[in-house]
Amino acid sequence: MAVEIYLRNTKTRSVDVFTPIDPENVRMYVCGPTVYDRAHLGNARPVVVFDVLYRLLRHVYGADHVTYVRNFTDVDDKIIARAEQSGREIAQITGETTQWFLDDMGALGALEPNQMPRATDYIPQMVAMIERLVETGHAYPDGAGHVLFAVKSYGDYGALSGRSVDDMIAGARVEVADNKRDPMDFVLWKPSNADQPGWESSWGRGRPGWHIECSAMADDLLGDHFDIHGGGNDLMFPHHENEIAQSCCAHPGSGFANFWVHNEMLQVEGKKMSKSLGNFFTVRDLLDQGIPGEVVRFVFLSTHYRKPMDWTADKAREAEAHLRKWRKMVDGVTAGAPSHAVVAAIADDLNTAGAIAELHKLAAAGDVETLLGSAQMLGLLDPAMGDWAKGADVDLSAYADALSAAREAAMATKDFAEVDRLKTALTEAGVEVRMSKAGVDLSPKPEFDAAKLDGLL
């Protein structure tokens, strides 16, 4: 049965049928990280969102007919500042943080893209594109080592975000500088001093601005006209507007990307994630706290990508319980084909919450082969991610009953020594202990050691 994919296209402001330029060569570019530190939880959301889209495209068109590109920005002022603060070489920092990113996203079940270009490997392509823009009057050197894009030379500037240039000047992140002909003009090339990374060009030794790298790498790896460009909606302006302007001016009539897909931002316990609020987490923080990457992924997928995603501890606990139950059900099972209902939900503008609802139906019906195949379509229940749930079939009910009885007795006597003894022993054996008005819930962690419970009861 043919699958028709629908995606919300920021470019048209509507949910449109996705028709690839070439079904034999479906192409997607997603903006990747600037590698100077650990990826925070918000950085992971687009990775998971576009991983699901990648899986869907591979399912519909075939794995050999989809090319997914996600870049690494490894030349940036933040990276330079981090090197100056730490006294480390830039290459050491970017190499280490790039691997951190890949490891952490892999823990969330994200497939690696077909191409993961690093900006520093594409400087010649960036210089060539800038030269083309200068030659055609869309960019200008300031005589002091900078080259700037002339925004007013591109009549459709602002079409993606739907804002006028005047509105953007009033409320956007605009660098006001004496070398700009217009306040909205943005830097394509900037000079580098002797202590900063730099490359030779006709405007002097320097380095690229932020926006030009994605245009140059997309052009080199996917061509000047491809299918999908994705990223968080915080990139819509100025980054994506600037990409469109410089790419379309460098390749008149190309169209650049047909579909623009943007995910909403992430919150933590109902509030914007920020260090000042004390609710800032990296992906590694959660993994080190013992929260499995598969659980993080499940929580992400439980909310539609175009809605703000609220990370809460309760959602993580619920996700873990569902995954433990499902992993126990599919143990030893060979995956069947994903259900039409699950595929249809994902194809309906990546309705992953709807797809998970279908997984619950399959679990309730006992269709474990289809449950497994359908979950794996979402990147869940993959055998490679299952070590955390290895104790899912452990029967801890006797310990839960004992702890419940001890707590009930302690409420009357006010002597909690037995409660504390049981909790301490369970925790040291690798059991997560949750106590609430509803009762006692015990879950084995990956490090669970049954031998440490010998003689406890």
pLDDT value of position 170: 56
Distances (CA, A) of 301 to 52, 137, 386, 390: 9, 45, 18, 23
At 232, which amino acid appears? Answer: G
Helices then strands, each counted (H, E), the chain: 15, 15
The whole-angstrom separation of Cα 52 and Cα 379 is 7
Tell me which of 257 and 174 has the higher pLDDT.
257
Model pLDDT for residues 112-162, shown as the tens digit of each residue = 999 999 999 999 999 999 999 999 999 999 999 999 999 999 999 999 999
Burial of 408 (0-12, 13-18, 19+ CB in 10 A): exposed
Residue whose token pair is 């490894």: 74
Residue 250 has pLDDT above 70, yes or no: yes
User: Under DSSP, is residue 449 helix (H, G, I), strand (E, B) or coil?
Assistant: coil
User: Under DSSP, is residue 76 helix (H, G, I), strand (E, B) or coil?
Assistant: coil
Per-residue exposure over 89-122, b if at least 16 CB sit within 10 Å of its own CB, e if not: ebeebbeebbebbeebbebbbbeebeeebbbbeb
Contact 248, 275 (CB under 8 A): no
Rounded to 5 degrees, what are φ and ψ at 165? -60, -40
Mean pLDDT (the chain) is 93
Model pLDDT for residues 323-366, shown as the tens digit of each residue = 999 999 999 999 999 999 999 999 999 999 999 999 999 999 99
Query: DSSP 3-state helix, strand, coil percentages of the chain (rounded to 5)?
Result: 45, 15, 35
The whole-angstrom separation of Cα 191 and Cα 205 is 6
Contact 140, 148 (CB under 8 A): yes
pTM: 0.87
Contact 104, 38 (CB under 8 A): yes
What strand order describes the sheet that includes 266-268?
Answer: 271-272, 266-268, 309-311
Q: Where are the domains of the chain?
A: 6-263, 267-389, 397-453
pLDDT value of position 273: 83
Model pLDDT for residues 162-211, shown as the tens digit of each residue = 977 666 665 545 555 678 999 899 999 999 999 999 999 999 999 999 89
Contact 9, 261 (CB under 8 A): yes
pLDDT value of position 301: 98
* Domain at 6-263, CATH class: alpha beta
Model pLDDT for residues 411-446, shown as the tens digit of each residue = 999 999 999 999 999 999 988 898 888 788 888 876
